[in-house]
Amino acid sequence: MASAAQSRIKSISYAKYGYMFIAPFFLVYCFFQIWPLIYTFILSFKGNQANYTQFVGLDNYSQILFGTGSSVGAAGVHEEFARALGNTFVLWFGNFIPQILLSLLLAVWFTDAKVKLPGKGFFKIVMYMPNIITAASVAALYVNLFGDSKYYFVNATLMKLGMISDPVQFVAGPTASKIMVMFIQTWLWFGNTMIMLMSGIMGISPSLFEAADIDGANSTQQFFKITLPLLQPIMVYTLVTSMIGGLQMFDLPYLYHNGANFSKQLETVAVYIYYNFNKGTVEQANYGYAGAASIIIFAITAVLGSITFYMNRDKDAIAKKKQRKKAEKQMKAKMKQGGLSI
Amino acid sequence: MSKLTRTLALLASIAVVSTAFAACGQKTESTPTPATNNTSSQAAPEEGGNEEGGNEEGGNEESGNEEGGNEESGNEEGGEGGSTTLEAGAVNLPDTDDTLTVVCWTDADLQNMFDVYKDYSSANVVYQNCGDNGSAASTQYATYLNSGDDVDLFVAEAGWILNYINDDSMSAPLSDLGITADDYKDAYQYTVEIGTDNNGVLKAASWQAAAGGYAYNTTLAEQYLGVTSADDMQAKIADWDKFAATAEELKTASDGAVTMTATIGGLWQAFSTAKNAAWVKDGAIQTDVAKEFTDMVKGYVDNGYVNPNVEQWTTDWTNVGLQGETLGYFYSTWCLGEGAQLEQNGGTDGNWNIVIGPQEFFWGGSWLCVSPNCNTASEASKFVKAFTTDASIMEAYALYSGDFTNNKVAMDKIVADGSNSNPLLGGQDQFAVLSDVAAGIKMSDSITKYDQGLKDTFLDTLKKNISSDTDTIISTFTTQALADNPDLTA
């Protein structure tokens, strides 16, 4: 027999305790994430240096994107941003393509049942290892190995061996330093991508590979007809995360330099933002440019992300959905005709 | 049961929220007051000295141990070690605190000062590092000074001092400590001019005059140039034409193995500061000096007198000196003390000498400024007076630290007495060489708040494009400089 209280309360909602539990996170999130995000938008519409409180509308955007606007240096602003954006893409492509090829190859080898590779676990750990070193240490390591003058290991060795007569500018040289950063980024991240791809490959049912074997498919055919198509979701994930990471690339380009100032030839958009934001006192910093550049890179990321998703959507599922809708329409049309179908 | 769940949920939420916010709060509190950076020159005079709470406790205890018993704690005026008695001026700021806090990034300088100051005063002086170099300090000061943490005095550098002394919320006039421009009759005048803000109010005082010179390796000079004395060396590089001629001679004699000087950065300092030309005039970037310098340096690089790939203040910069691949460096006085740049770059054998070089120049310099939140006014007044006006203390400091102090009387006395001999320079007295240079420093018309940034951009552009022609280099620089500083015009 239900008590009076039980009959009065039809159901008890525990939802509010759930909200209580997640409230702290959301409070902190709003303070430290949402508000700074909104504030970046606001800053991008305000002036630079001494005019940082003044509302200037889209002036920063027009200076950065088209080199026209209120400041006499607008052309230079545009030039610098364009260079930073170019560097960002060059550095991203230059490390992403070798990285994904290398990781894919290693992932296939490590997961192939026919290849009996001894010490797989050891290799996996060794290859993942660079990823756990902080970028600061990595930059320090490479700057000290590949320093520009003959006092540094690589140049000294190459010169001793007679392969070069003058030291190569691995750090300050415009092309060599870019190649170095691409190489370091690849070295840092291929292990991580490899683990990701391996988990994707291991998720593919082994029976598919067995069936292909029995049908006489060679390993190239298996790779292109089975592994790659079924790996697509993981590939999309890798592509999107790497793209976001690549467009926001900051640490190595900023840290890989001699002397006190970062290298202009490695300046990415993230470095551009940091540099303009952090140029001294409030009256010396360019908050407007930094804000506008942040918003632009955000927009680029959003557009590229959408394109990636669009290109990699499940075409079969969409086609099926379309068919189903078509069929439904036909059914409805039939019903309207009052069942007088011939 | 449900009451229990509810209570638990509430407690958990409160705990999480408070941890989150406590973490933030602690961060702002602890950043400026890391215990390791906290040092103190003298024991706290009384128990009352601890009223600021936990922050200072470490410092006080530490110094208490170092000093042992401190008998003269009640006698703050009397310095038993020095001949002078410190007197505070008529102060116009509160005097409620016992600890004089100096915010800086140059802890080594401050430590030297405190070591000397101990002999004159028993005041409790501590320094607080804010950033580990001048440019970091220039950005972090603004936050620190507004944070409400104890700050009585702060140190500012030539490159950006104008940002702080022209802002009344950051700095107070020295007259609030009873110090006026009349106290600086013996000082090098440029330090007073720079310490004066746009409204003509004296806001900062410097303890040093950063005269510079050309330090060269005597062994190499004798080997390749046959030069045996500093006077002969000076005669060979007395102006830029002679400097280049000597560089050519050195190159031929050494078969290109030894460069005349280590870096373009050093050359720029020597070349530009003596011109007393501002980077920015009426809001427009001035490139005349930069153009002249570019013309000169392009020739130097083409002829191998300087290696453009060596960056100022890097390992390469140190190495060329250690390996005997450069004849000399352009140094400021603060490079010549024990453990400073001269020693790091190979000066340990005493086979270096310093001469004035092709042009009299200067490099950097730091000023003491008063915070409007100063609450130790009389002690602050004594400290500023001691290191910027008191000849005997400044003499002691110069001899102790090797720094060229901002007091003509003190420096003249050292030179006349011959009391300074620098073992790194083979016993040479750097003050004797540089005292004329210090007297000739003019900086007041030429410093602007854009200096550090424009100089960095210019030297970077120059090094990257050294093979382009001068006009291209200058226009590349101007484009970049305007992009960095939308306030300016070409």
pLDDT tens per residue across span B404-447: 999 999 999 999 988 888 888 888 888 988 888 888 887 767 78
Nearest-Cα residue of chain A relative to residue B6? A17
Closest-CA distance, B131 to chain A, in angstroms, reads 13
H or E stretch including B218? helix B218-220
Nearest CA in chain A to B483: A77
d(CA A192, CA A99): 10
Q: What is the CA radius of gyration of chain B?
A: 25
Residue A2, pLDDT score: 59
Q: Closest Cα of chain A to B100: distance in Å?
A: 26
Chain A positions in Cβ-Cβ contact with residue B309 (cut-off 8 Å): 148-149, 167, 169, 172
Tell me the average pLDDT of chain B.
81
Q: Strand locations in B392-471, DSSP E?
A: none
Report yes or no on A324 lying in a domain: no
Residue B16 has its nearest CB partner, among A24, A80, A279, at: A24
- Asked, for residue A146, whether it belongs to a domain, the answer is yes
Distance, in Å, from the CA atom of B457 to the CA atom of B461, rounded to the nearest integer, reads: 6
Is-contact A5 B2, C-beta < 8 A? no
The pLDDT assigned to A280 comes to 67
Per-residue confidence (pLDDT) for residue A341, from 0 to 100: 52
Please check whether residue A279 lies inside any domain of the structure.
yes
CB contact under 8 A, B316 and A279: no
Dist CA B77 CA B85 (whole Å): 7
The answer to whether residue B57 scores a pLDDT higher than 60 is: no
Residues near B285 by beta carbon (within 8 Å), at least 6 away in sequence: B279, B454, B478, B481, B482, B488, B489, B490
- Is residue A12 included in any domain, yes or no? no
pTM of the predicted model as reported, rounded to 2 decimal places:
0.77
pLDDT at B33 over 60: no
The reply to whether A321 falls in a domain is: no
Name residues whose C-beta falls within 8 Å of residue A97's C-beta, 6 or more positions apart in sequence: none
Strands (E) located in B140-183: 153-157
Q: Which residues constitute the domain of residue A110?
A: 43-311
Contact A73 B313 (CB under 8 A): no
Q: B2: nearest CA in chain A?
A: A14
CA distance A148 to chain B (A): 8
Residue B155 pairs in a beta bridge with B368
Residues of A in contact with B135 (CB under 8 A): 260, 280
Residue of B140, B458, B485, B489 to mutate, testing the A interface (most A Cβ within 10 Å of its Cβ) = B485
Nearest CA in chain A to B475: A76
* Complex-level ipTM: 0.77
Going residue by residue through chain A, which has 342 residues, state the pLDDT in tens, using 9 for 90 and above: 556 666 666 777 888 899 999 999 999 999 999 999 999 999 999 998 888 889 999 999 999 999 888 888 888 899 999 999 999 999 999 999 999 999 999 999 888 877 778 888 899 899 999 999 999 999 999 998 998 888 889 999 999 999 998 889 899 888 999 999 999 999 999 999 999 999 999 999 989 999 999 999 998 999 999 999 999 889 888 989 999 999 999 999 999 987 767 888 899 999 999 999 887 667 778 999 999 999 999 999 999 989 988 887 777 888 888 899 999 888 888 777 665 555
Write down the pLDDT at residue B68: 38
- Angstrom distance (rounded) from CA B318 to CA B312: 9
Name the amino acid, one letter, at A252. L
Going by pLDDT thresholds of 50, 70 and 90, the confidence category of residue B5 is confident
Nearest chain A residue to B455, by CA: A261
Instruction: Out of B12, B138, B478, name the one closest to residue A280 (CB).
Output: B138
For residue A335 the two structure tokens come to: 């019903």
State yes or no: pLDDT of B222 exceeds 70. Answer: yes
pLDDT at B347 over 90: no
Task: Say what the pLDDT of residue B220 is.
Answer: 93
Interface A–B counts its CB contacts (< 8 A) at 118
**Which of chain A's residues have a Cβ under 8 Å away from the Cβ of B449?**
283-284
Nearest to A50 among B6, B316, B487 (CB): B487
Structure tokens at B245: 């001629």
Q: Tens of pLDDT along B223-256? A: 999 999 999 999 999 999 999 999 999 999 999 8
Write the Ramachandran bin of B156: left for phi over 0, alpha for psi from -120 to 50, otherwise beta: beta
Interface probe, candidates A11, A28, A257, A274, chain B, greatest B C-beta count within 10 A: A28
Task: Identify the CATH number of the domain in which residue A126 sits.
Answer: 1.10.3720.10
Q: From B359, B438, B452, B358, select the one nearest B405 (Cα to Cα).
A: B438
Residue A304 lies in a domain: yes
The answer to whether A20 contacts B310, with C-beta atoms less than 8 Å apart, is: no
Q: Nearest-CA neighbor of B287 among B157, B44, B461?
A: B461
- A94-121, pLDDT tens digit by residue? 999 999 999 999 999 888 877 778 888 8
Considering only CB atoms, which chain B residues are within 8 Å of A46? none
For B450, which DSSP code?
Answer: T
Q: Which residues of A touch B142 (CB under 8 A)?
A: 281-282
For residue B100, the SS3 value is: strand
Tell me which residue in B16, B452, B482 faces A72 most closely, judged by beta carbons: B482
Pairing type for strands B124-129 and B39-40 reads: antiparallel
Residue B389 pLDDT > 70, yes or no? yes
Here the tokens at position B185 are 């009759």
Q: What is the model's pLDDT at position B83?
A: 53
Count of domains for chain A: 1
Residue in A17, A148, A264 nearest the CB of B9? A17
pLDDT tens digits, B448-479: 878 878 888 899 899 889 999 999 999 999 99
pLDDT on residue B38: 42
A241-294 pLDDT per residue, tens:
999 999 999 999 999 987 767 888 899 999 999 999 887 667 778 999 999 999
Spatial distance between the Cα atoms of B211 and B333, rounded to a whole number of angstroms: 6
Q: Domains in chain B, start-ordered, CATH in brackets?
A: 78-209+365-417 (3.40.190.10), 212-363+428-484 (3.40.190.10)
Is residue A235 domain-resident? yes
Cβ-nearest to B5 among A17, A264, A276: A17
Contact yes or no for A48 and B487 at CB 8 A: yes
Sheet with B366-370, edge to edge strand ranges: B39-40, B124-129, B99-104, B153-157, B366-370, B204-206
B163: closest chain A residue by CA: A281
Q: Tell me if A149 and B316 make a contact (CB, 8 A cut-off).
A: yes
Contacts of A265 in chain B (CB under 8 A): 464
Looking at chain B, the number of H-run helices and the number of E-run strands are: 19, 13
Looking at residue B132, its pLDDT comes to 67
Please report whether residue A21 resides in a domain: no
CB-CB under 8 Å, B160 with A280: yes
pLDDT at A13: 82
